[in-house]
Structure 1
């Protein structure tokens, strides 16, 4: 499988967190030819799929088809697997009187509230992000536990793109999403 770029990881991770795995809106700063190239490449790999947008429901529009309709982008099962998220958990269906079985139930990652993990996510979603020292002070974790939580629980299990950047004033700062 091809290696994901940072942009591809961000698009897939954000889409995995949205209802129905809708990949729009794209990250800020990604527009025009660069957006078209990134999306085309992801469609070629099977990570994104264009589906008809229901404009009456206010679904985000990727492109207009010229007949009063448009398309939106959805993260596929392959796209979810590419970022380490199980795409579908089958619910065991029991045949009803009409012989119709229950539909499969989509399993989305759940974010638990009131936990250290939720606190970590909130810290990383702030515009100024968080340093390891700030995370340690807030959670009481060791440095290796904080890094492990960002890599394992947030990155691999929840599919969040945790990025870091070295800043002169604060040192290494971690954020969810694109580097500043």
Structure 2
């Protein structure tokens, strides 16, 4: 393991604990010429690298490039090894932190049993599907209401894909395909 100063150890250790391995922000009291010297040495040894900062995510800037963009500092695999941390472990922990920070996927609503909507879904799930006339007769709804329910409630809310096909000797047949 290479010989590190206390400042270098603090910078690399803090970066290893962040989900995105950012070396920014730097420790309190490290700024100006001292920061430039330490960071320049760490970049030269391959422990840190400058990457484009994603300003939309609020990543802290190391320096501005002059064209409206900026760079930030990220610890490299060599930098992690310099403090005795296996890069695979850091990347795994980062993935776990990112996954834990994401909100759970919203649950899709389920139709209540015995409703006209449930009856329509059941008809559309049959292998032979259902024609518009069959659905109108079963539900008592008008055709435009059924088409709206297929698009809105079934498609957008429940995530069901309703496909239609014009079959020979028959009216247009509607079926529920694969869910989105």
Pick the structure with more helix per residue. 2
Shift of 1:77: 0.3
Residue in 1 that maps onto 2:88: 88
Shift of 1:3: 0.8
Tell me the TM-score normalized by structure 1.
Answer: 0.50
- Runs of 4 or more, structure 1, over 6 Å off, are none
* Partner SS for 2:74: strand
* Partner SS for 1:50: strand
> Contact 2:24–2:62 (CA<8 Å) still a contact in 1?
yes
Structure 2: gaps (5+ residues): 97-180
Which is higher, the Rg of structure 1 or of structure 2? Answer: 2
Partner Cα separation in structure 2 for residue 71 and residue 47 of structure 1? 16
* Partner SS for 1:88: helix
Shift of 1:19: 1.3
**2:29 is the alignment partner of 1:29:** yes
Residue in 1 that maps onto 2:126: none
Residue in 2 that maps onto 1:107: 92
Count of aligned positions = 96
> Contact 2:21–2:75 (CA<8 Å) still a contact in 1?
yes
Tell me the TM-score normalized by structure 2.
Answer: 0.50
Structure 1: gaps (5+ residues): 90-104, 111-180
Partner Cα separation in structure 2 for residue 15 and residue 45 of structure 1? 16
* Partner SS for 2:25: coil
Q: What are the residue-to-residue correspondences of 1:135-146 with 2, within 5 Å?
A: none
Residue in 2 that maps onto 1:78: 78
RMSD: 2.1
